[in-house]
Structure 1
Amino acid sequence: MFGFLQKIGKSLMFPIATLPAAALLLRFGQDDLLGIPFLSAAGAGIIDNLALIFAIGIAMGLAHDGNGGAALAGAIAYLVLTSAIGTINESINMGVFAGILSGIVGGLLYNKFYDVKLPTWLAFFGGRRFVPIVTAATMTILAGALGYLWPPVQDGIDAAGAWILNAGMFGVGSYGFLNRLLLPTGLHHVINTVVWFDFGTFTDANGEVVRGEINRFLKGDPTAGPFLSGFFPVMMFGLPAACLAMYMAAKKERKAAVAGMFFSIGFTSFLTGITEPIEFSFMFLSPVLYVIHALLTGVSMMVAYALDIHHGFGFSAGAIDYVLNYGLAQNPLLLLVMGLVTGIIYFVIFYFMIIKFDLKTPGREDEEEEGGSDYSGDDPVDVRAYHMIEALGGTGNLTSVGYCTTRLRVTVKDSEQTNEKDLKRHGAMGVMKVNKTNVQVVIGTAVEFLGDAMKKRLADGNPAPENTEPVTEDALSEPAMEKEILAEDFLMPIEGEIIPLSDVPDEAFAKEMMGPGFGIKPSGNIVYSPVDGRLVTLFPTKHALGIETDTGVEILIHVGLDTVKLNGEGFESLVEQGQLIQRGDALLKLDLDYLTANAPSVITPVVFTNLSGQQLDMLKSGHQQQGTTSILKIN
């Protein structure tokens, strides 16, 4: 559990780095300082969205590879949770805890499902694309549960707050302790709302009745302040001293890396009273220190109460509010004495605890071994990735690995060093040496898994797995289905001239690397469905679509060549992915003039991608009207 909490703490370091600047902007823009709403709004843009920022940071930090897909999952988890739970109970306020929970769920689901394999007709939604989908579903269920489980917790904290208000010194101390202890859950706002804006009444000189500790103090109530005063020593002196202790206890080689962070968050706490950057920097890395911090806050509140110190703030208990409200305070100089003592106590306790018990505060974390360095040979995709890299000339020749929907797009130093025979032996459907440094390897719809495995291996130097035997079974795609298409069941999808696939000016299509088919020189401007089935793939750039017939045959219609580079210009989708379609349904509208002017070719390959040993017979050629039947058959 401690190890897991430390991972959460480490993942927060990146978002925490943004908070000091936001805090300064927020404070200096207030009306009692510069009075510039623009500055306050800029800082509030970060501070007010802290939960979402933490959801993103934690999810990305927990991801085994730090991929941005995990960050997206964390954000989606938070948005789903907060939106859905509000429909059950509008009074629910989970605060930062909602972001922490969302980040954990998003990160764990990413590690679980980032490499999930789906059936071929759903392959587009496999891998990392599946993570946001399963995250949204999971958080919907969780929101439904928390919508009923969280209100009793929130009500319990509210009841505790009612007791605190009438318990004198111990009530003040309990409030200080719970205020810090509940910070990660956001429930401290429940108590704060009661204490700061509702507790007690005071009639000012104008006869106006004001309520709440903050409002009463600012209006001159001499009894107000006990629930505010004790925060000043902690925020101005205690937590900055804790930063100094954590810096002094950091590993020698890590001190330079954490010095800037500790100075900025410590100074922010002293000046503005915004302490979250400090507290979140160690609350998960060393929870025991955070409990001690909460206890020390309670003690500070009790001591200030015993010394009859009355001071308050309109924003937070930092130096700015200390100076601005000095004239309204009682015994304010005693807070400085308390602050110096509090700073010494924080430094001594933090430094001793960190050194004595080897607590993993920032700068003392254990160096984690990077995952993925153990290649046992049990994973057929990993073994295939090893052989693919070797067939491309090894790590000395292979510079980078990328992929599109079906092809590996790799950069090499010399394409002549690639072994086409070995590539095909280990699963390639075809190989194209585009030029001296670029090679495309046709894999199919499961290319994402192979590409990611190759990237991982390339970063590690491609060590040989224990078992290097070639993978004979097809681990990258579903078995091909032996289905047929009768001549009358297939319609001409668009008006134009039918040409042999071998005449398509693209080697991958011409050599049937993706499967058999034919080409069309279109003269019409609408692509219709040639079969009954389902639209299983509609590429974001709209240049290509995949159809699965009711009998299981998969068809790829690729409008033009290199039209993916047009980013959707010249295309208008008339259907949605996943939609059931019938022969003759309009699928895609084309701006043929624009495509002719901006694409290398408008020739449109129609390819059958999952035929296995079956025969495609073309029955017609030349110019054909859209809707013409009996142009081919498959048996």
Structure 2
Amino acid sequence: MFAFLQKIGKSLMFPIATLPAAALLLRLGSGDLLGAVPNEAIQYIASIMAASGNAILGNLPIIFAIGIAMGFAHDNSGGAALAGAIAQLVLVAVLGAVNADLNMGVFGGIISGITAGLLYNKFYNVKFPEWLSFFGGRRFVPIITSVVITLLGAILAVIWGPVQDGIDAVGNWIIGAGALGYSAYGFLNRLLIPVGLHHVINTVVWFDFGEFTNAAGEVVKGDINRFLNGDTTAGYFQAGFFPIMMFGLPGACLAMYFAAKKEKRAAVGGMFVSIALTAFLTGVTEPIEFTFMFLSPVLYGVHAVLTGVSLAVAHVIGFRDGFGFSAGLMDWLLNFGLADKPLMLLPLGLAFGAVYFVIFYVVIKKLDLKTPGREDDEEETEGASAVTSDLDVRAYHTIEALGGQQNIKQIDYCTTRLRLTVGDASQVDDKVLKQTGARGVMRISKTNVQVIIGTSVEFLAEAMKERLKKGNPAPANVALQQVASTPEQSVEATIASSDFEMPITGELLPLSEVPDEAFSSGMMGPGFGINPQDGTVYAPFDGQVVMIFPTKHAIGLKADTGVEILIHVGLDTVKLNGEGFETLVTDGQIIQRGDALIKVDLASIKTLVPSLVTPVIFTNLTGQEVKLEKSGYQRAGSSNIISINK
């Protein structure tokens, strides 16, 4: 159920992405902006813009149906999108035929999209006898969708009345509860971000709560739509986010900067300035929140509480505002004319910025939280913390740090990490694991742990398995003996932007957007991600193949300049055991830019793994940053896509 809800939350991003365009068009065309200019030509343009914006906001249910169907489809197919649109049209017709007063709104679009997406995944490759073959495969999906949604609509027509009344009652209670209701929403909004379910609650509040009849006589629902259409009671579910996004979280960045060790402030300062400015201008706060979300859950809890307080305070003092994208400077300026007391944001924001700074600084210092720049030295430098290169000794200490032989139920591994089933994850000693050379520890559940090792993981895992067969007896030289370097110790290396090419055709992504914490957090090193659109992996530079993983899903390369990279095709693809992968080179082979390395059948593996996003990790950079110089779709062989900076 949790995974299903997460999938809904992710799919909601397709239709939600249309909101900025709708809000911008509607606001620019409004009577207090371009519509107020005493010029017929400009007013004509304004009317077109306002109509365009309302066309999107007025058809959100079918937009949600299309977007969610695509999100649920295993290949994001347009066939699923068509089925989603048909499902929504049929559902509205069935409900109207039974009871004209029923209005499922965006909920109807969500149900239609989920139904169409699930049916697409089940029937997209269905085969019929030759005389019926025209209706097989993807063509069958809209047909079966219309039948299923007709039956579902008939059921919903009977039961939705009480459900609709219940949702309206909850919405009215929250709105009627005033500061308490707004505070509860703000708290839950931030609290659900780590699990990706905040989009679910946002959809209810932003697109369903409340009703308002606009100037054209149309009934609009949801806090965003009502606000943009001039409802003076809407916007309180949005206003309280402005002080947090524009001032509070930048204040947290300032606190983390000053809490960092003095010798490390220069290294983390640039990052904090960048992500704070992003939050202030656009309201995009995930880069800040993910900086401390997993490192410091205490701070994230404080952040969720303060967000709830901000929404409550905004309501109490009468500050009302809204956004089409997020609560940043751009939306604040754009909606200045629609807001109540918009200038109250300045003192309110400065106050929250100060509160965030003080609380974050004190909590970080008091609890010695390992926010950026405060990590222990032994946790940052593998050379000072890794045990002797004797693999047998390292395997012994790793087993003991995992709770001993009795706590280890199963050992598996992929390209860079140990995947372990344990009796009790709380018995795992993170500190000792890092002293043995581990780069990080991830607790997936109470019985599943992943330990980030690096590309030598295969050898460590096999050594551990051999030791477990013998009962893990203590080796003769059992002490943790620090050494100056390890086989994976970082070295000074670089490569010119013009000498590094895009290895796979696809969409270029920042490392933070790779949906796997071990990669996105930088545990394995800096780099970037690619959402591949083609199944061939090419050499990005001149150099040598240094490792091909046995299951063919990952390859290690070393450039002539000394830079080493790991290309990991898809996530969790190790479990495919090489199915769908074909290697075109061998270990130790000399390669040139553009040489084909691996071929992948993307269509066949897409439904079998969590994601096709491919991390490209630089495994031996010292104090250097990999910066994306391009974004979006790039063809394999494109150069100047990255730069390596100190």
Which TM-score applies when normalising by structure 2? 0.40
Instruction: Say which one has the larger Rg.
Output: 1
Q: TM-score, normalised by structure 1?
A: 0.40
